[in-house]
Structure 1
Amino acid sequence: MSSALAGLLTGLSLIVAIGAQNAFVLRQGLARRHVGVVVAICAVSDALLILAGVGGVGAVVRDHPTLLTVLRWVGAAYLLGYGVLSLLRLRRPQGLDAAQTRAGSLGSAVVTTLALTYLNPHVYLDTVLMLGSIANQHGDPGRWWFAAGAATGSVIWFTSLGFGARAASHVLARPVTWRVLDLVIGVVMIALAVRLLLG
């Protein structure tokens, strides 16, 4: 069980930092649109990536830097586009009703969640390579307990972020709140894109 606790704490320490995926989950939660689906995709994706790392896929990632380079450029372009769209929303202040409308369809929420998850090369470095390496230091069966703990951390975090934001959305329904949120998300996305481009 100490391996599971180590996995939980390590997983949370990596995932809690603000990033593109977290910003999107927060926005969907505040807009109260497709929160359950977005949270589920994020949590299941993290679990799959953690299991892949523990299972040895991290070595494949380490040995194929070209794959990470391609993901870096595609991910940076996607983040840049998403960030610019967020900043463009600043021109027209919106309340909760408008935010819910602009949160998009279920299909667009699914595609955006998958893109923000799998086009981010840091997810392969942090979740697959780093967590996989740390987990494998726990031996058998400890590494699988570590993986279970890290995956549980993802479930706790994304559920808290998405549904916590959903619960607070009525308090944050004013247009000025959405302007600040779009500004922060736009700046974060563009900063992450620049960081990816600069390596």
Structure 2
Amino acid sequence: MELDVFLKAFLISLSLIVAIGAQNAYILKLGLLKQHVLKAVLFCVITDSLLITAGVLGLGLFIKGNQLLINGIAIFGIVFLTVYAFLSFKAALKNESLKIDDEVKTNPIKQVFSLLFMFTFLNPHVYLDTVLLIGGIGANVEESYRSYFLLGAISASFFWFFSLGFGARFLIPLFKKPITWKILDISIGFLMLYIAYSLIPLIQ
């Protein structure tokens, strides 16, 4: 029974986390540039773990019932994602992301954490996936098995982000072509705009 609960949580969590989003796209980019990958991956795993745990303990019900909080997060998320989309389009046009070697200027760790923080906490979809969906399911698991559910969900986050961050380097030969970086930056830009647009219905 413990293994069944663990695997159920692992698969549910993985299916939600794998869906490409702002956070995943940024981790992929850091992995390709080989910049602060371990720290960025650990940030994502730790924040996911905290949000999932909070959801299982009941935070999901609080957020779901607080429309003012949802409105605030959604508005900030829309503004932030729109600005980042513009910067991605600008990078594609100006060839700002073409080299992958030791001469590439490394982004300051403070800037990396700032972006990850905003991608995580200013995106209502993060709360929908981790706190409301995963946490909500976990909250309904029998209390004696809840720890196994948490372990399974957190393990999925650990597996995905480490695979994405450190697996990205296998794509480096492909991304040494300028056109590939252009496609990635443009794709990220449209992805950000799509996510921003999808947040509009949350505002009431």
TM interval, short-chain normalised:
over 0.9
Counterpart residue number, 1:129: 132
Flag the 1:99–1:135 CA change in 2: closer, same or farther, 3 A.
Answer: farther
Aligned residues: CA RMSD: 1.8
Distance 1:194 1:99, change over 3 A: farther
SS at match of 1:12: helix
Equivalent pair of 1:135/1:146 in contact (CA under 8 Å): yes
User: Is contact 1:29–1:169 with CA below 8 Å preserved after alignment?
Assistant: no
Mapped contact 1:32–1:169 kept (Cα < 8 A): no
The match for 1:9 is 11
Residue 158 (structure 1) aligned to one of 153, 158, 161: 161
| Count of residues paired in the alignment | 199
Q: Which residue of 1 aligns with 2:61?
A: 59
Q: Distance in 2 between matches of 1:198 and 1:97?
A: 39
The farther-off stretch of 189-198 and 179-188 is 189-198
Query: What is the CA distance between 1:189 and its match in structure 2?
Result: 0.6
Q: Structure 1's 45 and 116: CA in aligned 2 closer, same or farther, altered over 3 A?
A: same
Return the offset for 1:99.
11
Task: Measure, in 1, the Cα distance between the counterparts of 2:77 and 2:102.
Answer: 25
Residues 1-199 of structure 1: pairs in structure 2 closer than 5 A: 1-93=3-95, 94-97=97-100, 101=104, 104-199=107-202
Deviates more, 1:95-104 or 1:83-92: 95-104
Show CA shifts across 1:71-126 (max 9, x none): 00001111111111000112223422489846621110011011101111111122
- Mark the runs of 5 or more structure 1 residues left unpaired by the alignment: none
Partners of 1:19 and 1:48 in 2: CA distance: 19
> Is the 1:9–1:153 Cα contact (8 Å) retained in structure 2?
yes
Q: Read off the aligned partner of 1:188 and give its amino acid letter.
A: L
CA distance in 2, matches of 1:67, 1:153: 28
1:100–1:42: structure 2 CA closer, same or farther, 3 Å change rule? Answer: farther
Name the CA distance, whole Å, in 1 between partners of 2:101 and 2:68.
Answer: 41
Separation in structure 2 between the aligned mates of residue 99 and residue 182 of structure 1, nearest angstrom: 21
Cα distance in structure 2, aligned partners of 1:178 and 1:15: 24
Structure 1 pair 84–176 and aligned structure 2 pair: CA distance change class (3 A): same
| Unaligned residue ranges in structure 2 (runs of 5+) | none
Which amino acid counterpart does residue 60 of structure 2 have in structure 1? Answer: G
For 1:76, the aligned partner's letter is I
**TM-score under structure 2 length normalisation:** 0.91
